[in-house]
């Protein structure tokens, strides 16, 4: 089956791309390449018949292992991106506080008493 071979090939390409890791430069292109591979795999998966009838046990196990590896790597990269965003937001907040230190003063713990 041509579609099945193409699906397995795209899955291996995706796993290889994810194993390379998240680059510090050119992240948008990297994420777009991953998204394109995921979309292509999804389209191929829709055209395939029931995979349990087509694949033998070794191929099934290989695909299952690849899927587990892919999901683990994607989760790891998502957490890395999330951490980078949090650091960026913290830096932005700190630079704002440095630029205008009196902007966000809190009134908590202060008492304004009026003498009679």
Diameter over CA atoms, the chain: 92
Q: What is the pLDDT along the chain (116 residues), one digit of tens a residue?
A: 688 889 889 999 999 999 998 888 888 999 999 999 999 999 998 888 777 777 888 888 988 999 999 999 999 999 999 999 999 999 988 887 776 766 666 666 666 666 65
* pTM of the entire predicted model: 0.72
**Predicted pLDDT at 105:** 61
Q: Where are the alpha helices (DSSP H) in 1-116?
A: 2-20, 27-47, 51-54, 57-99
Q: Is 3 exposed, middle or buried (0-12, 13-18, 19+ CB in 10 A)?
A: middle
């Amino acid at each position: 089956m041509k579609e099945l071979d193409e699906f397995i090939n795209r899955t291996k390409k995706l796993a290889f791309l994810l194993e390379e890791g998240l680059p510090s430069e050119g992240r948008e292109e990297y994420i777009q390449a991953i998204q394109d591979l995921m979309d292509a795999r999804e389209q191929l998966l829709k055209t395939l018949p029931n995979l349990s009838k087509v694949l033998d046990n070794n191929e099934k196990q290989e695909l299952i292992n690849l899927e587990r590896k892919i999901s683990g790597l994607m989760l790891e990269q998502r957490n890395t991106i999330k951490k980078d965003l949090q650091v960026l937001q913290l830096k932005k907040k700190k630079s704002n506080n440095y630029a205008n230190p009196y902007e966000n003063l809190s009134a908590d713990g202060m008492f304004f008493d009026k003498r009679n």
